[in-house]
């Protein structure tokens, strides 16, 4: 029986059994992360009818600055400023869930401080030790200072969370590590306490690294939009549909791409494609569905709940086709709208690869280049971060000097969309900048696993000499992730990346050109 089927059967049985009244602050138990109340105070809601043999979701709620302190009560003032609606009767009938409400002692960006993050993680460990918590269904939400705290906590431990719901937050940071976590943001355009720019910037940063983000921006409502936002009838079911490491496309609001592929990655030899799909907004109004090829053309799709784009020209190599749908804010009194996005990563190749063929070759920091063996290295793409530099040296051990006279350097990564299967990857290096051994040492990780540590190109191959490091890799999540990080001296560097389809463990999904 599938996990979804078991969950549905469990929910039906609980619905038949019935539930207690809606939660109130007195229903939350008192806890502390330290012995003798020496750590972070927190309150924990245990769903009625809790059975220790059944795993339950957990929602973490982070309060705003006005509820800071050490009394372990203020964080639940005003029914947690509306957040306790998440554990109201109607939602508990959908899915019984735990809710944790920690309290931060100060009101100045408290949640983002190192000690607070350590204590929040300790709280999660404590709750999991005391109760039966499903580690794949831990969700975090917060408002105002807690909205920023939601971002900080997920950024600190993106491996722990199934979804994140910041409200009226501020600040920001690196989005790449959180690209796999579904976010639903809420903010008001006329917020006079925490300007809306912080949320807009974070949403844009996440979408820029291909994260799926729902963003509800009200026209009015000022700072205290929380009770009405937590009362959104779609929010709790959407949260409960999310599982760690697997964004759900079942619960609205959601925009789905169905053609040319329902997978996140599609490899084709076509020069153009149309994209079609659906916008499930639970019957709420749909305004527009827009499309864009990142850094290329854009326009408006035909239709709304069912939509189609015109033919979109594809460049050789990576093409990110982005769909952005706009619909209701779900609270008419505030006005505004909700936007949400989906993406199809298209890798256009000269021909659909057979085992041993190139899937993609990238000339890091450089333009398109056809190698002496006929391999087309496309212009630099699929990278996140880093800087670029060029040189004009004669390179030994290669007939393709061009590949080794442009390079990406610093702390950066490549996320290369591929169909699941087995691949070979060649990483091309040359030392054309430093004049001696020992002036550049750095690290490289493949799929999160270190493959090079304190790597010194010159020590291994000499100066102005091409060096290729070859690796085999099995892909199960639709992408090859290569991460470069500075070591003890100098900066990380890569000159080119070459991905080849291996002969074993090939799954056809993603390679169908039709």
Q: What pLDDT, in 10s, does the model give residues 367-385?
A: 999 999 999 999 999 998 9
Using CA atoms, how far residue 159 sits from 180, 207, 480, in Å, is 10, 19, 18
Say what the pLDDT of residue 54 is.
96
* Contacting residues for 336 by C-beta, under 8 A, at least 6 apart: 188, 189, 216, 217, 218, 219, 220, 329
Alpha helix (H) residue ranges in 253-408: none
**What is the reported pLDDT for 77?**
95
Chain mean pLDDT for the chain: 91
Question: 423 with 502: CB under 8 angstroms?
Answer: yes
pLDDT band at 177 (very low <50, low <70, confident <90, very high): confident
For 202-249, what is each residue's pLDDT tens digit? 999 999 988 999 999 999 999 999 999 999 999 999 999 999 988 889
74 within 8 A of 67, measured Cβ to Cβ: yes
- DSSP H or E stretch at residue 36: none
Going by C-alpha positions, the residue among 466, 470, 468, 467 that lies closest to residue 500 is: 470
Q: From start to end of 10-155, where are the E strands?
A: 28-32, 41-45, 56-62, 98-102, 133-143
Q: How far apart are CA 125 and CA 156, in angstroms?
A: 15
In the chain, what percentage of residues exceed pLDDT 70?
A: 93
Task: Give the pairing type, strands 163-167 and 133-143.
Answer: parallel
Q: Are strands 265-268 and 337-348 parallel, antiparallel or unpaired?
A: parallel
- Name residue, tokens 């579904």: 182
Contact 143, 168 (CB under 8 A): yes
d(C-alpha 277, C-alpha 147), whole Å: 32
How much is the pLDDT for 468?
A: 98
Over pLDDT 90: what percentage of the chain?
82
Whether the pLDDT of residue 508 is over 60: the answer is no
The helix or strand, by DSSP H or E, that contains position 358, with its residue range, turns out to be strand 358-363
The mean-pLDDT minimum among 211-220, 283-292, 403-412, 416-425 falls in: 416-425
Asked whether 262 and 255 are in contact (CB, 8 A), the reply is no
Cβ contacts of 514 within 8 Å, gap of 6 or more: 260
Question: What share of residues in the chain are helix, strand, coil (percent, to 5)?
Answer: 20, 40, 40
With cut-offs at 50, 70 and 90, classify the pLDDT of residue 403.
Answer: very high
For residue 22, what pLDDT band results from cuts at 50, 70 and 90?
low
Question: What is the per-residue pLDDT for 21?
Answer: 53
User: Helices in 242-283 by DSSP H: which ranges?
Assistant: none
427/313 Cα distance (integer angstroms): 29
What is the distance between the alpha carbons of residues 365 and 186, in angstroms, rounded to a whole number?
37
CA-angle at 290, arms to 367 and 313, nearest 5°? 35
Distances (CA, A) of 451 to 158, 286, 444, 458: 22, 47, 6, 18
Q: In the predicted model, what is the mean pLDDT of residues 285-294?
A: 96
Residue 47 has pLDDT above 70, yes or no: yes
Residues in the chain: 514
Please check the confidence at residue 506 and state whether its pLDDT lies above 50: no
Q: Cα–Cα distance between 422 and 150 in angstroms, integer?
A: 37
CB contact at 8 A, 58 and 139: yes
Strand order in the sheet with 306-308: 254-259, 276-280, 306-308, 302-303
The whole-number average pLDDT for the span 63-88 is 96
């Amino acid at each position: 029986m599938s996990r979804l089927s078991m969950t549905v059967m469990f929910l039906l049985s609980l619905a038949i059994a019935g539930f207690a009244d809606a939660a109130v602050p007195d229903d939350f138990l008192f806890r502390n992360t330290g012995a003798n109340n020496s750590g972070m105070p927190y309150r924990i809601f245990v769903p009625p009818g809790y059975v220790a043999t059944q795993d339950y979701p957990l929602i973490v709620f982070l309060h705003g600055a006005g509820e800071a302190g050490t009394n372990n009560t203020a964080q639940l003032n005003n029914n947690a400023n509306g957040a306790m609606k998440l554990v109201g009767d109607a939602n508990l009938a959908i899915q019984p869930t735990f809710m944790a409400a920690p309290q931060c002692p100060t009101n100045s960006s408290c949640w983002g401080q190192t000690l607070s993050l350590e204590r929040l993680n300790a709280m999660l460990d404590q709750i999991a030790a005391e109760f039966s918590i499903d580690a794949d269904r831990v969700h975090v939400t917060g408002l105002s200072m807690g909205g920023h705290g939601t971002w900080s906590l997920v950024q600190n431990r993106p491996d722990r969370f199934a979804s994140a719901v910041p409200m009226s937050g501020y600040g920001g940071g690196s989005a790449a590590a959180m690209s796999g976590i579904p976010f639903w943001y809420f903010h008001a355009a006329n917020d006079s306490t925490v300007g809306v720019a912080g949320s807009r910037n974070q949403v844009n940063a996440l979408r820029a690294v291909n994260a799926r983000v729902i963003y509800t921006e009200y026209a009015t409502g000022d700072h205290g939009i929380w009770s009405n936002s937590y009362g959104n009838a779609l929010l709790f079911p959407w949260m409960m549909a999310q599982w760690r490491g697997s964004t759900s496309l079942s619960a609205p609001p959601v925009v789905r791409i169905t053609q040319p592929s329902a997978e996140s990655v599609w490899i084709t030899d076509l020069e153009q494609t149309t994209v079609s799909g659906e916008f499930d907004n639970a019957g709420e109004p749909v305004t527009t569905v827009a499309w864009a090829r990142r850094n290329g053309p854009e326009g408006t799709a035909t239709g709304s709940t069912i939509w189609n784009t015109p033919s979109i020209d594809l460049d050789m190599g990576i093409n990110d086709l982005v769909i952005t749908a706009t619909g209701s804010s779900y609270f008419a009194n505030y006005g505004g709208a909700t936007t949400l996005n989906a993406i199809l990563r298209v890798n256009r190749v000269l021909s659909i690869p057979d085992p041993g063929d190139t899937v993609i070759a990238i000339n890091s920091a450089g333009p398109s280049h056809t190698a002496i063996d006929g391999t087309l290295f496309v212009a630099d793409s699929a990278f996140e971060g880093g800087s670029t530099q060029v040189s004009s040296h004669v390179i030994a051990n290669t007939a393709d000097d061009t590949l080794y006279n442009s390079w990406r350097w610093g702390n950066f990564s490549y996320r290369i969309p591929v169909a699941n299967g087995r691949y070979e990857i060649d990483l091309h290096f040359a030392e054309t900048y430093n004049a001696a051994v020992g002036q550049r040492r750095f690290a490289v990780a493949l799929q999160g696993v270190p493959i090079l540590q304190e790597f010194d190109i010159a020590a291994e191959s000499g100066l102005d000499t091409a060096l290729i490091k070859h690796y085999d890799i099995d892909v199960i999540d639709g992408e090859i992730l290569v991460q470069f990080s500075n070591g003890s001296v100098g900066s990380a560097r890569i000159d080119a990346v070459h991905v080849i389809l291996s002969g074993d463990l090939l799954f056809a999904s993603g390679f169908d050109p039709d």
